Amino acid sequence: MKEFIIHYAHIILLFPLLGFIINGLVGKFLQDAFGKSICGIIASLMVCASFALSLGIFCTLSELDPRSRLFTITLFDWINVGNLHTSISFLFDPLTSVMLLIISGVGFLIHIYAIGYMHHDSSTWRFFAFFNLFIFMMLELVIADNVFLMFLGWEGVGLCSYLLIGFWYKDKANVIAGNKAFIVNRIGDLGFIIGVFLLFWAIGSQGIWTLNFAELKEYSYLLENLYLGNINVVTIICLCFFFGACGKSAQIPLYVWLPDAMAGPTPVSALIHAATMVTAGIYMVTRLSFLFILSPVALGVIAITGAVTAVFAATIGFAQNDIKKILAYSTVSQLGYMFLALGVGAFSAGIFHVMTHAFFKALLFMGAGSIILGMHHEQDITKMGGLRKKMRWTYYTFLVATIALLGIFPLSGFFSKDQILWSVFSSPYGSKSLWLLGVFGAGLTSFYMIRLVTLTFFGRHHHTDKAHDTLHEVHESPKVIIIPLVILAMLSVIGGFVGVPHIFGGSNILQVYLSPVIADAELNHYPMITEVGLMLVVFMCVLGFAYGAYYLYSRKPSRRAKLIERFSFPYKVISRKYFVDEIYQHLFVNNIMRTMRFMARFDMVVVDGLVNFAAFLTRIGAYGNSWIDKVFVDGLVNGIATVIGSLGSRLRKIQTGYIQDYVYVLFASIIFILLFRFMIA
């Protein structure tokens, strides 16, 4: 078994690819022949197989010696151009195995959930084909052993995201949202690929032409003192990579696509835009942590961007009414926390939060999906309320996820968020002000989540119009949806225990497991009382904001109206999302469109004019040519034929066919010859 995994672990990619091919090619026939569930069952089985193999890989790695927990599988050469030698090869180390477990495990649960969620859709086969393709690309991204191969998966998940956001393509808004996500990601990818080029050039200038992670890590010290002008090359490279991560992981300034991406089906939001794809940026930075650790400037930029995004996105969540949009801003905010962790050098804390966030945020989205189904495709939380009694299972699981997200002991979110905040406080790269921002963000998180839960599940149904009262028709979702919710709720509860901090007598298993791969910054030492005190501060802050939200939205709604009236301008700014979309529209999109229209006109008038003029000249020339051809060339050929013909028709008259004429000529010639001869003689 162990031997098999060490040599054939890469077949983990084969299953989702197979599912994609089956569903993509014959899914429609299967759906027509065996019912709608068959496509989902095939897809889920494929992901289940990948999950089983992920477990196998995890166990195999655990059995190895901690210092040599790593194996690579090389399939074949991929690109061999000049100094660039890239192969299709895969790297399996603790970081990879953790990511594999998250992707295939959460992915499997969401696949099952999607069987129920997509049951009424007419083309489930297309959905599951894309879903499996996504899993394939995401797995490829995390097991790639060089930057180029990683970029392949990076682009692949972007493609699947685009395809699935615009899954209901008959509605134009969905297609536009898909385009937005794709284009914004493309801007980030520009940073990524420039980073790859710079990295290749920089390390190549030191005599090592490689993009392989292991070799890059070994020789990264060569880059430390490389300068371009006054700026350290590593800083430029890291900032380029971080810009790419900003696009994929929805950080300022490229976060705008993620809220719009909620146009896709809810399982897509849960899997791609909460649990896995958006964490690709965090994975990438962690994978290249040996580079980032060389550049304190880049780390600082990452930490500040992360902290600001965490707070900024959380405030937008205050005034949104679409349940999925609120969760989307929450995702942006939580991704900000992860980057904050990376920025202070606490890479394993970032990965820890990736994991716990995958559990509870996927659960939140799936709960939201269950509510949307129960409410007959109503997403506005102001029209909900009192769902607690109608949808018991959804309510309990949603509540568990909310508490986990708030970071309340002992649910999973507590451990990961606490580790991040503690690292921010005590890391040499961190600072107290960043910590304060982080705590403030945690408070804001608790405010908008309690607001969401209060408006959705508590109180009475807000819709007073009896004619449109849908509450009595609200129904709990089927088992196929509830069971994944319950499993994820359990994971959200216990998931944090892999990273129990030292002061609770734990021995942060995850950090130890990841330590051979990730170089976490050494934390400064503080007395134990400080750590406990800070925890209490965070806890009080979270509780305070939570109570505030409960008070305003459940106990005294009248106060809320007054408050909104009083701060009407800030409220408006927040509810319009700080006008960021409008600003981008004005600054970038409009200018680009204007340039584009100008170029189009230039193309039509000048370029097309030149081409058409050239065509016109050619036609004139061709007419001349054909005239010469007809008159001279054809004339010569026909002339020769005519001359020979007329000559022949004259000559044939000699041949009379009368034997006597021939005899006459014969003897006349003889006589002539004889006379001639005698006359000469």
Partner 1 sequence: MIKLETFLIVSAILFSLGIYIIIARKNVIAILMGVELILNAASLNFVAFNKYSVPTSFSGQMFSVFIIVLAACEAVVAFAIVMSMYKNFKDINADSATTMKE
Q: Specify the DSSP class assigned to residue 459.
A: S
Provide the phi-psi class of 391: left if phi over 0, else alpha when psi is between -120 and 50, else beta.
Answer: beta
Cβ distance to partner 1 smaller for residue 563 or 674:
674
Task: Identify the CA nearest to 16 among candidates 186, 164, 136.
Answer: 136
Answer for the pair 118, 40: CB distance below 8 angstroms, yes or no: yes
The 10 Å Cβ neighbour count of residue 469 is 11
Token pair, residue 443, equals 């408070």
Instruction: Determine the Cα–Cα distance for residues 577 and 274; give it in Å rounded to an integer.
Output: 20
Q: C-beta of 658: minimal distance to partner 1 in Å? A: 6
Task: Identify the CA nearest to 354 among candidates 424, 419, 263, 445.
Answer: 419
Question: CA angle, 333 as apex, 380 and 476 as ends, to 5°?
Answer: 35
Residue with the two structure tokens 């089956």: 22
Q: C-beta of 669: minimal distance to partner 1 in Å? A: 13
Instruction: Determine the Cα–Cα distance for residues 65 and 68; give it in Å rounded to an integer.
Output: 5
Candidate ranges 183-191, 329-337, 465-473, 659-667; the one touching partner 1 (CB under 8 A): 659-667
Q: C-beta of 671: minimal distance to partner 1 in Å? A: 10
Whole-number Cα distances in Å, 536 to 422, 446, 548: 12, 15, 18
Cβ distance to partner 1 smaller for residue 1 or 659:
659
Candidate ranges 193-201, 260-268, 597-605, 662-670; the one touching partner 1 (CB under 8 A): 662-670
Which listed residue (651, 659, 679, 680) binds partner 1 by CB under 8 A?
659
- Which residue type is seen at 215? E
Q: C-beta of 637: minimal distance to partner 1 in Å? A: 31
Cβ distance to partner 1 smaller for residue 122 or 660:
660
Cβ distance to partner 1 smaller for residue 558 or 660:
660
664 binds partner 1 (CB under 8 A): yes
Provide the phi-psi class of 129: left if phi over 0, else alpha when psi is between -120 and 50, else beta.
Answer: alpha
Answer for the pair 315, 336: CB distance below 8 angstroms, yes or no: no
Token pair, residue 600, equals 């189009």
Strand positions, DSSP E, 170-278: 227-228, 231-232
Cβ distance to partner 1 smaller for residue 658 or 678:
658
Q: C-beta of 677: minimal distance to partner 1 in Å? A: 17
Q: C-beta of 646: minimal distance to partner 1 in Å? A: 21
Report the site for partner 1 in 467-526 (rule: CB under 8 A). Answer: none
Q: C-beta of 656: minimal distance to partner 1 in Å? A: 8
- Which residue type is seen at 659? I
Cβ distance to partner 1 smaller for residue 505 or 657:
657
Cβ distance to partner 1 smaller for residue 579 or 667:
667
Cβ distance to partner 1 smaller for residue 230 or 660:
660
Site track 599-638 with partner 1 (rule: CB under 8 A), x = hit: ----------------------------------------
Cβ distance to partner 1 smaller for residue 32 or 661:
661
Answer for the pair 457, 387: CB distance below 8 angstroms, yes or no: yes
Answer for the pair 23, 39: CB distance below 8 angstroms, yes or no: yes
How many chain residues interact with partner 1 (CB under 8 A)? Answer: 8
Cβ distance to partner 1 smaller for residue 628 or 663:
663
Task: Identify the CA nearest to 400 among candidates 360, 458, 344.
Answer: 360
Cβ-count burial of 541 within 10 angstroms (0-12 exposed, 13-18 middle, 19+ buried)? middle
Candidate ranges 88-96, 363-371, 382-390, 663-671; the one touching partner 1 (CB under 8 A): 663-671
Cβ distance to partner 1 smaller for residue 598 or 664:
664
Task: Identify the CA nearest to 95 among candidates 61, 47, 56, 65.
Answer: 61
Report the site for partner 1 in 639-658 (rule: CB under 8 A). Answer: 655, 657-658
Cβ distance to partner 1 smaller for residue 169 or 667:
667
Alpha carbon dihedral 288, 289, 295, 301, in 10-degree steps, equals 90
Q: C-beta of 651: minimal distance to partner 1 in Å? A: 15
Q: C-beta of 670: minimal distance to partner 1 in Å? A: 10
Cβ distance to partner 1 smaller for residue 636 or 673:
673
Token pair, residue 202, equals 């920089």
Task: Identify the CA nearest to 413 among candidates 479, 320, 481, 499.
Answer: 499
Cβ distance to partner 1 smaller for residue 637 or 663:
663
Q: C-beta of 618: minimal distance to partner 1 in Å? A: 54
Report the site for partner 1 in 120-139 (rule: CB under 8 A). Answer: none
Complete DSSP assignment for 483-521: HHHHHHHHHHHHGGGGG--GGGT---HHHHHHTTT--PP
Cβ neighbors of 49 (< 8 A, separation 6 or more) are: 15
Cβ distance to partner 1 smaller for residue 227 or 667:
667
Cβ distance to partner 1 smaller for residue 464 or 655:
655
Answer for the pair 320, 455: CB distance below 8 angstroms, yes or no: no
Q: C-beta of 680: minimal distance to partner 1 in Å? A: 22
Which listed residue (633, 663, 674, 675) binds partner 1 by CB under 8 A?
663
Which listed residue (588, 627, 667, 672) binds partner 1 by CB under 8 A?
667
Q: Which helix (H) or strand (E) holds 96?
A: helix 94-117
Q: C-beta of 649: minimal distance to partner 1 in Å? A: 15
Q: C-beta of 655: minimal distance to partner 1 in Å? A: 8
Task: Identify the CA nearest to 106 among candidates 267, 349, 275.
Answer: 275
Instruction: Determine the Cα–Cα distance for residues 610 and 620; give it in Å rounded to an integer.
Output: 15
Q: C-beta of 665: minimal distance to partner 1 in Å? A: 10
Q: C-beta of 667: minimal distance to partner 1 in Å? A: 6
Q: C-beta of 644: minimal distance to partner 1 in Å? A: 22
Candidate ranges 73-81, 190-198, 389-397, 661-669; the one touching partner 1 (CB under 8 A): 661-669
Query: Which phi and psi angles does 225 have, rounded to 5°?
Result: -110, 30
Instruction: Determine the Cα–Cα distance for residues 630 and 378; give it in Å rounded to an integer.
Output: 77
- List contacts with partner 1 (CB under 8 A): 655, 657-660, 663-664, 667
